Amino acid sequence: MPTRPPIFQPRGKSAADRIRDYDRERGSAAERLYDWRWGKAAKAFLALYPLCRYCALHDRVTVATVVDHFWPHRGDRVLFWRSEFWVPACDSCHSGLKQAVERKGMAALRGLAARLGLAEP
């Protein structure tokens, strides 16, 4: 009985692996939004609003170094560019207080938004 000759199958990456590698290399959709245009816009925003708004809630005067997207945009380009939801923040508040509030969930985030006078998207 004739048998089929073995088929050569190169041991390469699957299509899914190649797509995953490509995405890893270029960054996620959210990461890709932080390009030179964002750098320019954030710098201009901080020139207009140089103090951390989170510190101000606690009567502290601190220089803002980052622009926080108050409502997590998760790569949503429209929400990302809605500057009415940008909050000037110091590094400490951005990585501490704000992250903690986000971890607590939407109710906590809405509470903080109310204190800052921010609307919801």
Residue numbers at the binding site for Zn ion (CB under 5 A): 52, 54-55, 62, 90, 93
Distance CA 65, CA 69 (A): 13
Work out how close the CB of 26 gets to Zn ion at its nearest, in angstroms, rounded to a whole number: 32
- Residue 13 or 104: the one with the smaller Cβ distance to Zn ion is 104
Least distance (Å) between residue 92 CB and Zn ion = 5
The counts of H helices and E strands in the chain are 8, 2
Cβ proximity to Zn ion, 28 vs 99, nearer residue: 99
Do 48 and 90 touch, CB atoms closer than 8 A?
Answer: no
Q: Give the whole-angstrom CA distance, residue 73 versus residue 96.
A: 18
State the minimum distance, in angstroms, from the CB of residue 81 to Zn ion.
23
